[in-house]
Amino acid sequence: MARDKYQPTDRESLVLDHVGNPKYDRQILNGLDPFINGTAPEDTRGFYSSSELEALVQVRGTERDVEARMPVKMTRHYFEMARNSPALQKLVKGSTDETLNLEGAEDPGFQMDYSPVEGLLHKYEMGLMYVISTCSAHCRFCYREELIGRKEVKRQDGTVDKKGLAQIGEVTDYVRSHNEAVAANGGIHPDSGREKLREILLSGGDPMVLPNNKIAGWLTALAEAGVESVRLGTKELAFHPDRFDDAFMSMLDLFHEIYPDVGFRLMTHFNHPDEFLTRDESGSYVEDAGGFYEWNPSTQRAVEAVVSRGWISVENQSPIIKGVNDDPDALRIMQRTLKRVGIENHYFFCGRDIIAHKAFNVPIETAWQTLNESQRGLSGVEAHARLSITHYKGKTEVAAVTDEPVPGLAGSENGVVIFKILRNAAAAPDRGKVCIVGRNPDAIWFDDYEDRVLFDEAGLFDYARVKALRLEETAAVPA
**Chain contacts with ligand SF4 (rule: CB under 6 A):** 135, 138-139, 142, 144, 148, 205-206, 235, 269
Residue closer to ligand SF4 by CB (options 319, 438) is 319
Closest CB 410 distance from ligand SF4, rounded Å:
41
Q: How many CB atoms lie within 10 A of CB 472?
A: 9
Residue closer to ligand SF4 by CB (options 138, 272) is 138
Residue closer to ligand SF4 by CB (options 115, 369) is 115
Closest CB 337 distance from ligand SF4, rounded Å:
20
Q: Checking DSSP bridges between strand 416-424 and strand 394-401, what pairing results, if any?
A: antiparallel
Closest CB 143 distance from ligand SF4, rounded Å:
7
Closest CB 116 distance from ligand SF4, rounded Å:
22
Closest CB 186 distance from ligand SF4, rounded Å:
38
Residue closer to ligand SF4 by CB (options 40, 142) is 142
Contacts of 284 (CB under 8 A, 6+ apart): none
Residue closer to ligand SF4 by CB (options 238, 417) is 238
Residue closer to ligand SF4 by CB (options 88, 139) is 139
Closest CB 225 distance from ligand SF4, rounded Å:
25
Residue nearest to ligand SF4 (CB): 142
Residue closer to ligand SF4 by CB (options 142, 153) is 142
What are the beta bridge partners of residue 229?
Answer: 199, 263
Residue closer to ligand SF4 by CB (options 75, 313) is 75
Closest C-alpha among 440, 434, 444 to residue 416: 440
Closest CB 233 distance from ligand SF4, rounded Å:
7
Closest CB 344 distance from ligand SF4, rounded Å:
18
